[in-house]
Structure 1
Amino acid sequence: MHTLERIQDANDPAAPTDNELAARAAQGDALAFQLIMRRHNRLLFRTGRSILKNDDDAQDALQDAYLRAWRALGSFRAEARLSTWLVRIVANEALGRLRRRGGAQVIPFDTAVEPVDTPEGMWMQADPDEQPERSAMRGETRKLIEAGIDALPEVFRTVFVLRAVEDLSIEEVAAALGIPEATVRSRFFRARGLLREALSREIDVAIGDAFSFAGARCDEIVARVMAVITGPPPGPPA
């Protein structure tokens, strides 16, 4: 494996740990922060997108969240996982954008929610012309899954993305979103049931490809953040 790829892979025993990278970045090491971004880009992009439901908005939120994280790294304590700390920053940034945007109710993650009364699968039928045929190839199935996740009720959606798409544990999701583990379990199974009803058995085959964030898109967000944190300091206020 290429050296850079090994460094980015947190599971490689030769790679620095997240805590080691965080400590270096807190001392101003921009390269260490770049490695943190590349290691967690997909998880954090998916977190933001699960709230904002738009790729461009999620990328903008991710960039601002990374800048917040860069400035706040000195306050990070290794009591929690770095990924959990970063997820909370991204989620708060995305929720803040929803509040500022207005026009839609923003429901905090720790709010108790009664089961929706809409019959299973009906929430997917707002625009049936956008749904590909069941015989579509995997690429089209992935698009259908992404549309289905976007259509989930808000409080279910981020839980599902973190638990099913990103494969975080129940404990990790609960810690990241600040909700009880029992709430994570109930919302996850409710969301999974809704998707299974609407999307059929193909969900398990294509779910791992949903909301990919790699290659040029990954490079772009890293370059944008690095340009800010390594650029000249701002001048004195006018």
Structure 2
Amino acid sequence: MDKEQWQHKGAGHRGRLRDRFLVSGIAGLSDAEVLELLLSFGTPRSDCKEAARALLQQYGTFSKVLDAPPVSLAKIKGIGPKNSFAIQFIQAVAGHYLKDRIRGKRYLHSSKDVADYLIYSMRGLKIEVLTVLFLDSSHAIIDSEIVAEGTLNVNTVYPREIIKRALDFHAAAIILAHNHPSGELRPSHQDIRLTKTLFLLCSCMQIQLLDHIIIGNGTFSFADDGMMTTIRETCQRTLSSLTSS
């Protein structure tokens, strides 16, 4: 089969994949077929079927392929700079879309969208990252920012910087979120201590700390677990004792 015949056959195969997507959406394609189409954007004249299969064999899941670093991707047969760029770009686009989707929405009515964004943005990270969601007085989400990386505790997180950013956004409330690379969901003693410290300082600035969410093998919410209520009551007693003395 000459090159022209192969290209015609490959174009027909990709056309059928595109048609199936238009009819059934992403659910109509296997992970390998999704990757094959994605890689074809980077190298439209190449056969991407084997490269797509090699990616899944190497990383195990579609999400882990998207999370793979460029240096690692370059070691896969059939993955060149253009394919690597396509994978990195679509991963970044997905994260941008999820973040943009939550802006302006009330947190209490879109907690699933928030969880989707946090899980996606923190999934697979090798280090701990602390993200803060900034909310207005109606608890609509203004924006989110990563404010700390590395080992997160009261000695490495700077509350004044978080409060400064909240004031910059004119935020009335914030939500903390960080990941556990180990996958463990239960908060550590350091996580609880950090939450208490930030809650107390935010209260002094009339900013509400609504929740602290941990991303691991799933999600853990201080608010849903009742821990925020306990922390709130403890801090209120502390503040009362300070103002009455």
The structure whose residues are more often helix, as a share, is: 1
| TM-score, scaled relative to structure 1 | 0.26
The structure whose residues are more often strand, as a share, is: 2
| TM-score, scaled relative to structure 2 | 0.26
Bigger radius of gyration among the two: 2
Higher relative contact order (CA 8 A, sep 6+): 1
